[in-house]
Amino acid sequence: MEILVFGAGSLGSLVGGLCAREHRVTLVGRDPHIAAIRESGLAVEGAVEFTTQPEARTMVPERADLALVTVKSFDTPAAGHALADCNPEITCSLQNGLGNEEALAAQLDTVLAGTCTYGARRPAAGRVECTGIGEIALGTPDGGPSAAAERAVEALRSADIDAVHDDGMPKRLWRKLAVNAGINPTTALAGVENGALADGPLQDIASEAACEVARVAREQGVNLAESEAVAALESVVEATARNTSSMAQDVEAGTKTEIDAINGAVVDRADDRVPVNRTLAALVRARERGD
């Protein structure tokens, strides 16, 4: 299968590298990472270790059977526009936040929602570290059976990736949002690793943010209980205790965060008050502006 990974950052490089063990893979990203892969291949380190030689480009190829989108949420419209040039048969979002699938579907035909719990870090150009083995789940954004999802899952499994077809993706997406809404802004603002949310006042803030997400999910017709959202949050905090969240890395580097697609999306969709998510969103936006 011809697989295109659009957004060869840490996660995209890891997933693309894993896929390249079985499929023809093209990584689309930016130099110097792409240039290093073209010259010496992609070195995958950590929980799995190998070197592979996927095609590496800064522009999309002419065609693809399956496109995996791993760019930041604010780049999703541009990703959809670029992918329309090669018109992949199936496009899967493996991104954070809400609204990515709708943005891609405005440009592309068959779009699937996805979540990925593999841990990844890019220590240098041409290298990616797998910091934890996880799972990729794919399905239709609205839920229900999908032949396209089954085909995509089969392709990932053939590359020895733990992948499942979930016909209840809406709940999975909101549960992931609850985790991200609790962990990302809290760690970013406090300047701490994920494990600092295991107890104390930071745990309280993150847990209440997750509870608010669960309440908004139910307003949207998705049956996510507060207890389930908090349990998911606590599980990820424990499993990634030594990790630095993507938003904390962005704030430290002074780059744009995904706050609008995470806590901002909760605020935008809420019928009732969500004070913790609203406050976290406002504080991270102020930090981005340098206020």
Sign for the CA dihedral angle at 24, 25, 31, 37 comes to negative
* Distance, CA of 129 to CA of 144 (rounded, Å): 34
Angle, CA 134 vertex, CA 129 and CA 135 arms, to 5°: 130
Q: Tokens 């499942």 map to which residue?
A: 164
Catalytic residue among 72, 171, 176, 256: 176
92 by DSSP, 3-state: which?
Answer: strand
Helices 246-253 and 169-190 sit at what angle, rounded to 10 degrees? 40
Residue 261, C-beta contacts closer than 8 angstroms, at least 6 positions apart: 73, 74, 95, 96, 97, 98, 99, 100
176 assigned to active site: yes
* Distance, CA of 74 to CA of 102 (rounded, Å): 13
Please report, as a single letter, which amino acid is at residue 150. Answer: E
Angle, CA 212 vertex, CA 211 and CA 215 arms, to 5°: 90
Catalytic positions, written as ranges: 176
